[in-house]
């Protein structure tokens, strides 16, 4: 199925396939480098970075940001806690939930891993895209993500 945008026709199934395969390959390449250098998976890095940038977040906040179920998110946080990178603290405004905080070790891991993450992305992306198409693609994906999140499309139910 093709879609027409202005003077251009876009193969939407092809676009979807390219988008998903690029995401998977980038994610895997980042995962390999992060594991090699820091012993951390990309998903763990993303959780730690989110918690570093948003202190006092809850498991539900992580689940909403990453469009992952609460159960899977809680298990992921359990693994981070077991590594000594995250601590759960009582939530003074809701006894049913905990607030998540990075430990000093968690902060060191995420800061070191972020440099590796950024360097690897810089190695992988600029060779394939020139600045203008990259900026256009980034804007289009940002707008698509905003629409999907606004309408709660693809949000896990559990």
**pLDDT tens for residues 24-51?**
999 999 999 999 999 999 999 999 999 9
Domain housing 136? 39-150
- What CATH number is attached to the domain comprising 137? 1.10.10.10
Task: Give the pairing type, strands 86-90 and 98-102.
Answer: antiparallel
DSSP 8-state code for residue 130? -
Q: How confident is the model at residue 153 (pLDDT cuts 50, 70, 90)?
A: confident
Domain assignment present for residue 5? The answer is: no
Distance CA 151, CA 154 (A): 9
Q: Is residue 15 part of a domain?
A: no
Q: Domain for residue 78, yes or no? A: yes
Domain total of the chain? 1
Question: What local confidence, expressed as pLDDT, does residue 69 receive?
Answer: 94
Q: 23 in a domain, yes or no?
A: no
Q: Is residue 113 in some structural domain?
A: yes
């Amino acid at each position: 199925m093709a879609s027409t945008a202005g003077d251009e026709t876009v193969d939407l199934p092809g676009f979807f396939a390219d988008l998903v395969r690029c995401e998977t390959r980038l994610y895997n390449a980042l995962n390999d480098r992060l594991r090699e250098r820091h012993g951390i998976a990309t998903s763990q890095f993303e959780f730690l970075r989110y918690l570093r940038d948003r202190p006092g977040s809850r498991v539900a906040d992580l689940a909403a940001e990453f469009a992952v179920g609460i159960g899977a998110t809680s298990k992921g946080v359990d693994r981070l806690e077991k590594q000594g990178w995250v601590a759960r603290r009582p939530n003074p405004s809701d006894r049913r939930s905990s607030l998540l905080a990075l430990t000093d070790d968690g902060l060191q891991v995420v800061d070191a891993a972020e440099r590796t993450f950024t360097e690897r992305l810089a190695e992988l992306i600029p060779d394939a895209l020139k600045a203008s198409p990259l900026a256009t693609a980034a804007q289009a994906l940002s707008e698509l993500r905003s629409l999907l999140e606004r309408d709660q499309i693809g949000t896990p139910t559990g």
